[in-house]
Amino acid sequence: GNFLNSEFRVVCYLNQFFGQIGGEDKAGIATIFEDKPVGPALAFQQLIKDEGKVVGTIICGDNYFSENTKQALDIIIGKVKELSPDVVVVGPAFNAGRYGLACAEIGKTVSETMNIPVISGMYPENPGVELGRKYMYIVQTSDSAAGMRRALSQMAYLAKKLAAGIPLDSPEKDSYIPQGRRV
């Protein structure tokens, strides 16, 4: 259902592969910005329909992020602030460890510096889950991108609720990984 009168704003973060820059050979690419939805962000846009708008996609190589975390975070957080979204979506990262850790770092920083909900999707064994679950809502995904559609629809459902200020149900009911904190 439509929880809002006006569109909510979404910023998405993707790695070089899902951002359609290239594979492992492009993992060293520095942060770039597209003022439109790209790759999975495009599918996410279709899922939130006219309720929300992906106002930009931030893309960074997995290696670049892990080797230059502070610089990458500064640029990414600066861009998020500039775009002032209602929700930030990082990933889904499935079972990709470096990607999951980057998503978790971004989620942690956004939630510590801005009052914006962050949503991701990861396979339970992704190291990003441990790092990020206290700071963001992580939908449990399959271990590969074959589960993309399912992950994105659950993430879109959470985004609509959170953007409308509707409290989420239990992790079991709204299928996100328990945050390990009591509210």
* Average of per-residue pLDDT across 147-158: 97
Mean model confidence pLDDT for the chain = 95
Asked whether 88 and 119 are in contact (CB, 8 A), the reply is yes
When pLDDT is cut at 50, 70 and 90, the band that residue 9 belongs to is very high
pLDDT at 180: 83
pLDDT at 1: 46
* Average of per-residue pLDDT across 38-65: 97
* Average of per-residue pLDDT across 117-127: 98
Burial 83-107 (b: 16+ CB within 10 A, else e): bebbbbbbbbbbbbbbbbbbbbbbb
Largest interatomic CA distance in the chain:
44
CA 179, 155, 89, 122 torsion-angle sign: positive
SS3 letters across 56-108 = EEEEECHHHHHHCHHHHHHHHHHHHHHHCCCEEEEEEEECCHHHHHHHHHHHH
Share of the chain above pLDDT 70, in %: 96
pLDDT at 182: 54
When pLDDT is cut at 50, 70 and 90, the band that residue 131 belongs to is very high
Q: Tokens 């996410």 — which residue?
A: 44
When pLDDT is cut at 50, 70 and 90, the band that residue 113 belongs to is very high
* Average of per-residue pLDDT across 124-131: 98
**Residue from 66, 63, 74, 52 nearest 119 by CA:** 52
Per-residue pLDDT tens digits for 88-111: 999 999 999 999 999 999 999 999
Asked whether 114 and 86 are in contact (CB, 8 A), the reply is no
pTM of the predicted model, to two decimals? 0.95
**Residue from 78, 125, 68, 79 nearest 102 by CA:** 68
Cα distance between residue 174 and residue 131, in whole Å: 21
- Whether residue 3 is predicted with pLDDT greater than 60 in this model: the reply is no
User: What distance lies between CA 84 and its chain's CA centroid?
Assistant: 15
